[in-house]
Amino acid sequence: MTRTGLSVAQGAALTLGAVLGTGVISLPALAASEAGPASLVAWIALIVLSVPLAATFAALGARHPDGGGVSTYARLAFGEHVSTMVGWAFYLTIGVGAPAAAGFAGSYVADAVGGGRAASLATTTGIVALVTVLNWFGIRISGRVQLGIAATIALLLAVAVLVALPHTHAANLTPFAPHGWTAVGRAAGLLVWAFAGWEVLTSLSAEYADPARDIRRSTAIALVVVGVLYLGIAFATVAVLGPHTGPAPLSDLLVLGFGGGARPVTTVVAVLLTLGAVNAYFAGGSRLGAALARDGGLPRVLAAGSGSGEVPRRALAVIAVTAFGTIATMAVFGLSTDAPLLLATGTFAFIYVVGSASALRLLPRRTPAWWCALVSLVAALALLAMTGTHVVGPLLFAAGGLVWTVVRRRSTPRPGPVAPVPA
């Protein structure tokens, strides 16, 4: 395939899908119950912190476009061992975490149509199967679908905010911090999940027609859209619904504007949000796996499709099989999605630390991008500390990558001494 690549709009849609997850449906209510109207401070703070984080990964992608993403930057900055460790942690988490993310939509569908756990698992399986098929046919197909999903989501969320704003009550904003200012920190801890996803754009960097130009543009678009939509939903939740909001404020906002018949729209939004997020991670993760295999971090057989414009079907198949295996395990043993979600949170924190540290070594010193990387590293270390024991899972995956690297080096025959050239 010629290098037509991702367009700016498609890249922004994939990034938006990775960041704007199903948390937008429930997290505003959880944060508001924790900190009241002061939860808006937590939203603003995390939106502001997203700027240097997104700018850091955009700068790395523009300077070093490669499907390996963070693992490639780690290899350039710290060597093969660190690269393989972070690559394994990210790659293996995607297959385990995707069913947990899809389970959000499954729960909404089960509530809307009935069927209980069986309907939820069927929806989860359907979402994973659909994104596998989309990515099997290449980034241009999945990018076009993602663009339609992102446009629909943005429109529905914007409409929900606009129709609810006339019902704003100033009294709902007082007292502003009913649980004290320390509650803002607790609310921010709840909202971290809503801002994960910026790392995915690095694995898609090689797919842009002009990475040096287009990555920054698509990232900027995604930043603005995410910030506006998140802050709009959060403000409407606090100012319109007040302290007695339900668990799904988006549904309540739509009902205020259009009546009770609009409540099922929340299920549609949940499915689209989940579909967009899983699609973005499958697209980026499959390229990460192929790049790792290309560089020796995974079995060489998975390297097929690692070139720009190619389709990494073997690496994608591994993610899909892992995801279906996770769903089957959840179904057989009746497990919840809590453990995979916490595992994913720990992985994000680990990746952000390694990616930001790599940026400090790879980007020109004391440039705006370098300062963004410094701020991102401090924030990522704080996030890593907050994840606590949840980082054990990705660290175990990383340890597996380290073992692979050591064993592969020992098993690879070293070249013997060069025979002298006869006179």
Mean pLDDT (the chain) is: 87
Domain around 297? 8-407
Residue 6: strand, helix, or coil? strand
Residue 421 lies in a domain: no
pLDDT in tens, 212-263: 889 999 999 999 999 999 999 999 999 998 877 776 788 888 888 788 777 7
Please give the pLDDT value at position 416.
Answer: 43
End-to-end CA distance of the chain: 49
Which helix (H) or strand (E) segment holds residue 49: the answer is helix 39-63
Residue 413 lies in a domain: no
- Rg (alpha carbons) of the chain, rounded to whole number: 22
Query: Which residues of the chain have a pLDDT value below 70?
Result: 1-4, 22, 247, 338, 412-423
Please give the pLDDT value at position 419.
Answer: 42
Please give the pLDDT value at position 401.
Answer: 93
Contact 252, 241 (CB under 8 A): yes
Would you state the structure tokens that stand for residue 45, as one six-digit string? 């703070």
Please give the pLDDT value at position 135.
Answer: 93
Query: Residue 157 contacts by C-beta under 8 Å, 6 or more apart in sequence?
Result: 24, 229, 232, 233, 250, 269
Please give the pLDDT value at position 412.
Answer: 65
CA 74/CA 202 separation, integer angstroms: 12
Would you state the structure tokens that stand for residue 134, as one six-digit string? 């989309």
Residue 414 lies in a domain: no
Please give the pLDDT value at position 4.
Answer: 58
Contact 89, 401 (CB under 8 A): yes
CA 362/CA 76 separation, integer angstroms: 8
Contact 370, 364 (CB under 8 A): yes
Residue 420 lies in a domain: no
| DSSP class of 208 | B
Residue 1 lies in a domain: no
Please give the pLDDT value at position 415.
Answer: 42
Residue 219 lies in a domain: yes
The domain tally of the chain equals: 1
Residue 423 lies in a domain: no
Residue 415 lies in a domain: no
Residue 271: strand, helix, or coil? helix
**Composition of the chain by helix, strand, coil, percent to 5:** 80, 0, 20
CA 153/CA 159 separation, integer angstroms: 10
- CATH of residue 304's domain is 1.20.1740.10
CB burial of 156-182 (b: ≥16 within 10 Å; e: otherwise) equals: bbebbbebbbeeeeeebbeeebebeee
